[in-house]
Amino acid sequence: MPASTDTSQRRRAQWTTVSTLTFTASANDDGRSLKCYAQFTGGQRQEVSITLRVKRNMLSRGWSFTTPGSITGMRGSCIIVPCSFSYSTSQPANLRVIWYLFQINGYPPVFDERQTVFNHAQEPQLSIVGIPRVGEQSHVSCNVRHTCISAPPVLTLNGLSGSDRTVDTLVSDGIWERKVERIWTVKEQDQSVKCTVRYQGGQQATSELKLNVECPYEEIKMTEKPGEATEGVANSVICSVSYKCKKNTPTIVWNYKDMQSSLNTKMISTDTYNTVSNLTFIGSLGDDGKSLTCTAQFITGETSDSATISIKKYEKPVEEIDPHESDTFHILAADVPFRFSALTDSCVVIPCSFQYEEDVPLTRGIWSKKTGGIVYHNGRSQVLDHFKDRTRLLGDLNEGNCSLEIDNIKPFDNGPFCFHAEKGNDKYRFNNSCVFIVMKASLEKPVMTQVPKEVEAGSTISVSCSVTHTCPSHPPVFSWSVPNLTSEVTHTGLPGSRGSWETTSTITFMAAGGDGEKSLTCTATSWREKQQASTVKLTVKGSLMYQLRSSLPVSIPVSALVLIVIILAAVFGVIICRKRKHSQTPPPRPEKSRAEDGFVGWQKELKSRRRDDTVELSLGHLNNTTTVNSSNQISKPRFPSPKDKRRPPRSTRPEDYHVYDN
């Protein structure tokens, strides 16, 4: 076959050679490979190949057919198209006849012996790209395959609002696929999408797809951090998080318990919400350097943010005395701690005392905030609304006691609070009379006395549990995880810590049966229901012996019980030994009598002819010798001579005798 070669320079130092082959295909070339080789001067060689596809007409295939050029038919009726064909050589096996529709854009099959005709429409296939997320755009598609490109089926999407795009694709010979794609913005209420296919013949089918839309959320942010704070002073810390879907409202938790927090949720825009948690944080010196963390917990996950806590100690301020104050106030000395701790929501009793030596007692004691405002006054109308009905004077002014109780104390009730007094029109101010309250959010953890690591079941154990507090008017109450036999609660003021108290619960309990490790828990509950608990572990043993003792009468001591067990064991041992001994030793041979017949029969009881004559006999075997002991001397009974009636001798085999042991 003719071929030509052309070489040209494309760019500097680069050349291109093109070879053109004039190829005429034959019927036998269908499916064969056509290869082109490039041979370089250095010996290198490259090649490329293609597979030939040769179209053949009917005559080249050796067959022909006959059919009319046109047929007139009535619409809605049927027609028969006559067709005949013949082969010039022989008819091939597995002959297949197919009718095609002749048109410009393809040849869809009209009839095929292998073609299956369905009367019911197949359901369309729904698919979605990725996971639909609320507020974002997503793609859903519906497709169906058919064999009639001239009158394709109609696809309709329902349940979502958006724009559609229809695509027709040739899948294989005579098989087409129609696809409808829709792009839409996902909403929270989007639950499912339906696709319906309708054919020209009236058949239709519907498919439904559950969307399971996802509600995304953003990272939580601590918008107001604790910063540097003073011990016991409440600070507002705020965390905020935005998310999609109202149903996806999170739970925001903090890593510090017993602190007040509020939660507020509002809608920002369509399907977009924001939740804010405001924590009233009360730090202690032990919290300095630790992390404060807020966590938003959603249905599908969680997000957190943290900040480092910085706490400084409260220092006593330097008191500034107004020089004109001495003109209107009598200045006395008082004893009030400059800082005092209190548990929020509980109560606190601030110790206060003063020296007053005048004959006329003070008529009124007053507590007020150092910055202004009365927190206690015997005239209720003088008290700030925030403190009304929450304060009272516990001490007796006549005895120099000015102690103040604040009930249901709030996180921001730090003070300082100062004491002063009045007597008629005279006013008295006291040195060292101001107190700053250091708030605590949690009750002190109870301290439990040591208990034995191992205890016997049924034994009695005594244990104590103590907790410190500053609310003696409403001390904590205790509960235990075991029933107690005795219980006692004591309240003691702590030496060296004025105003601090220790409440102790002491119980005795019996260790219940059931070997293994057990837990003993003491729970302290403060005034207004804040709790702290302590737990110790102890191992119980000897439950079986305890159950045995419990099933016997109480009057039987343990020593007697042990003695009974030993005696029973000894008795059973003797019986077993005797049985073994008799089973191994044969019975003794009978001793011959002096009588000529060789044997004498004995009877345990002999009756004399006289009723009042009785004899007690005992028979024993000692060294194979028979002895008879008689308690009374009796005359020989008159028996007939054994010589008159002689009996044949008995067998001397031991197995023919029965030996009885009394």
| Residue-wise pLDDT tens digits, 340-381 | 999 999 999 999 998 877 776 788 899 999 888 999 998 888
pLDDT at 428: 86
pLDDT at 521: 94
User: Tokens 């005395």 correspond to what residue?
Assistant: 321
Task: Look up residue 467 and give its two tokens.
Answer: 């907790």
Where residue 559 falls among pLDDT bands split at 50, 70, 90? low
Which of the 8 DSSP states describes residue 545?
H
Q: Determine whether 186 is exposed, middle or buried from the number of CB atoms within 10 Å of its CB (0-12, 13-18, 19+).
A: buried
CA dist 481 and 540 (Å) reads 16
Distance, C-alpha 351 to centroid of its chain: 47
Coil, strand or helix: which one is 499? coil
Is residue 632 pLDDT above 70, yes or no? no
pLDDT at 369: 92
Q: Is-contact 357 349, C-beta < 8 A?
A: no
Quote the radius of gyration of the chain (alpha carbons, Å): 56
Q: In the chain, what's the furthest Cα-to-Cα distance?
A: 166
Is residue 325 pLDDT above 60, yes or no? no
CA dist 606 and 629 (Å) reads 14
Where residue 425 falls among pLDDT bands split at 50, 70, 90? confident
Reported as a single tens digit per residue, the pLDDT across 57-87 is 655 667 778 888 777 777 766 777 888 888 8
Evaluate if pTM is beyond 0.75: no
Average pLDDT over all residues of the chain: 80
Dihedral angle, C-alpha 627, 631, 633, 634, nearest 10 °: -90
Kindly report the number of other CB atoms within 10 A of residue 513's CB atom. 15
Of all helices (H) and strands (E), which one includes residue 3?
Answer: strand 3-11
Most confident of 10-19, 274-283, 327-336, 603-612: 274-283
Task: Look up residue 270 and give its two tokens.
Answer: 């369509």
Helix 558-584 to helix 543-551 angle (10° resolution) is 90
Angle in degrees, CA 406, 444, 470, rounded to 5: 30
Task: Look up residue 614 and give its two tokens.
Answer: 């009785």
Q: Is-contact 659 587, C-beta < 8 A?
A: yes
- Phi first, then psi: give them for residue 222, nearest 5 degrees: -85, 95
All structural domains of the chain: 125-210 (2.60.40.10), 221-312 (2.60.40.10), 327-440 (2.60.40.10), 447-549 (2.60.40.10)
Identify the CA nearest to 505 among candidates 527, 528, 522, 525: 522
Where residue 95 falls among pLDDT bands split at 50, 70, 90? confident
Reported as a single tens digit per residue, the pLDDT across 104-156 is 776 777 777 766 666 677 889 999 888 899 989 899 999 998 878 888 889 99
